[in-house]
Structure 1
Amino acid sequence: MYTLYGYPKTRSVRVAWALEELGLPFDYKLVDLKQGQHLSDEYKAISPAAKVPALATPEGTLTESAAIVTFLAERHGMHEFIPEPSSFARAKYEEMMLFLTSELEQPIWNMAKHTFALPKEHRLEKMREVAAWEFNRALLVFSSMLADKEFVCGNMFTMADVIAGHILAWAKGSKLNLSLNGKAENVAAYAQRVLGREAYERAWRNEMAHLSE
């Protein structure tokens, strides 16, 4: 049994989504960020970076969402959700994962940091404008990488789509234009396709339900 430490509208929904796609049972532990529970010594013993998500497994704890979903697919995917190890398709999966987390996601995270995450004295108003420009540039690259494929790795839905889908949902929530006024229509259509999956809906609803408990 896995235990997911998370909070709604954060990267923890990626792990919840992956678990739902795989049909794996898991316990959910709410880490109330607004109450500062992530800064407690108890939680830092689980996640030294004091961030969510964290996934407790029988073998230890994992804390990076891209690593977690990849581990889950390798352990439980049964030749689904991730290409075969050492294949060229697997290399393209890894390439996409690295691009998503280092290029496409970072501008949105910078926007968040300079809007609410950083202490006020360290926020730069201009950074939000710069980050939006960086995101648009990365989105054009993603549009080219996606091309006319159904999913980022071709015809198979993989954990890279979980990461990509969440990043695009985050971008929409940040009022960024996914179609880039017609320059990336394939991205907007892709986002609608993957974010319409039942597993994503279940993961999102389950996290939100824990706020009212």
Structure 2
Amino acid sequence: MLKVYHAANTRSIRVLWLLEELGVPYEKEMVEFTPANLQSPAYLAIHPLGKVPAIDDDGLVLTESGAIVQYLLAKHSGSHLTPDIGTPAYGKYLQWLHFAEATVMPPISDIVRHTFRKAKEDRVQSVVDDAKATLDKYMAFLDRELADKTFICGDQFTAADIMLGYDLNLCKIIRFSLDVYPNVAAYFARLTARPAFQKATAG
């Protein structure tokens, strides 16, 4: 059975959420999110960089959340979570799928590092300020995009919403308010109301 190495509030939520949406059975292996555990020989044998997520699918180990999402969608072809391959809608879907990690995540990661992860003496407030300004620009852009959409690709919920929804969930955790972006806030409320999201974030 597919095994997912999961730690609360990490990118592994994307994997669990996707699997819950697909109805694919899996085994969840909880990972203690501490340096001692992540850098232990046992876990480094699974993920050489000591990060989460990781999956083990009958001996195939993958460790990048976006790649895992694409792999699982390809394996379970015919999924309702992607537009038809080769269509313009699929091109837009890919753009948003990768926008979540390549564009939105870097400033969130900067905020996390310089607010929570680094020792207080190593935190740089200007990095946080710059990251918040960048994130504000991205959220304003998303707010415009979502003005007439139910989901990021239109009326259809897709895996791009899973990738992006995790980012918005992190915004809540780092106390970056979405209230000033009404379309984003309403979109996030629709995502968090999904039973699959609630199961993925339950533990």
TM-score of the superposed pair, with normalisation by structure 1: 0.88
Contact residue 22 and residue 79 of structure 2 kept, 8 A: no
- Provide Cα deviations, 1:4-48, integer angstroms capped at 9, x if missing partner: 001111111111111111111111111111362111122222212
In the TM superposition, residue 66 of structure 1 has moved relative to its aligned partner by 1.5
In structure 2, C-alpha distance between the alignment counterparts of 1:50 and 1:193, rounded to whole Å: 33
Contact residue 22 and residue 77 of structure 1 kept, 8 A: no
* Matching residue of 1:28: 28
In the TM superposition, residue 188 of structure 1 has moved relative to its aligned partner by 0.6
Residue correspondences, number: 203
1:100 maps to 2:97? no
In structure 1, C-alpha distance between the alignment counterparts of 2:195 and 2:179, rounded to whole Å: 23
In structure 2, C-alpha distance between the alignment counterparts of 1:70 and 1:158, rounded to whole Å: 12
In structure 2, C-alpha distance between the alignment counterparts of 1:96 and 1:17, rounded to whole Å: 17
Q: 1:93 to 1:115 in 2, by over 3 A?
A: same
Q: Give 1:108-127 correspondences, 5 Å limit.
A: 108-118=108-118, 122-127=122-127
In structure 2, C-alpha distance between the alignment counterparts of 1:155 and 1:179, rounded to whole Å: 23
- Provide Cα deviations, 1:57-84, integer angstroms capped at 9, x if missing partner: 1251111112211222222252410122
* Matching residue of 1:198: 195
* Matching residue of 1:71: 71
| 2:58 alignment partner AA | P
In the TM superposition, residue 120 of structure 1 has moved relative to its aligned partner by 5.1
Q: Give 1:40-189 correspondences, 5 Å limit.
A: 40-58=40-58, 60-76=60-76, 78-118=78-118, 122-180=122-180, 184-189=181-186
| 1:140 alignment partner AA | A
Percent identity (aligned): 35
Which runs of 5 or more residues in structure 1 are unaligned?
209-213
Contact residue 149 and residue 155 of structure 1 kept, 8 A: yes
In structure 1, C-alpha distance between the alignment counterparts of 2:33 and 2:114, rounded to whole Å: 17
SS in structure 2 of the partner of residue 4 of structure 1? strand
* Matching residue of 1:5: 5
SS in structure 2 of the partner of residue 28 of structure 1? strand
- Provide Cα deviations, 1:127-149, integer angstroms capped at 9, x if missing partner: 11221111101111122233311
Superposition CA RMSD, Å: 1.7
Contact residue 150 and residue 187 of structure 2 kept, 8 A: yes
In the TM superposition, residue 116 of structure 1 has moved relative to its aligned partner by 2.8
| 2:27 alignment partner AA | D
- Range with greater deviation from structure 2 (14-23 or 101-110): 101-110
Which runs of 5 or more residues in structure 2 are unaligned?
none
SS in structure 2 of the partner of residue 37 of structure 1? helix
- Range with greater deviation from structure 2 (28-37 or 149-158): 28-37
In structure 2, C-alpha distance between the alignment counterparts of 1:62 and 1:98, rounded to whole Å: 17
TM-score of the superposed pair, with normalisation by structure 2: 0.92
In structure 2, C-alpha distance between the alignment counterparts of 1:123 and 1:60, rounded to whole Å: 38
| 2:7 alignment partner AA | Y
Q: 1:77 to 1:92 in 2, by over 3 A?
A: same
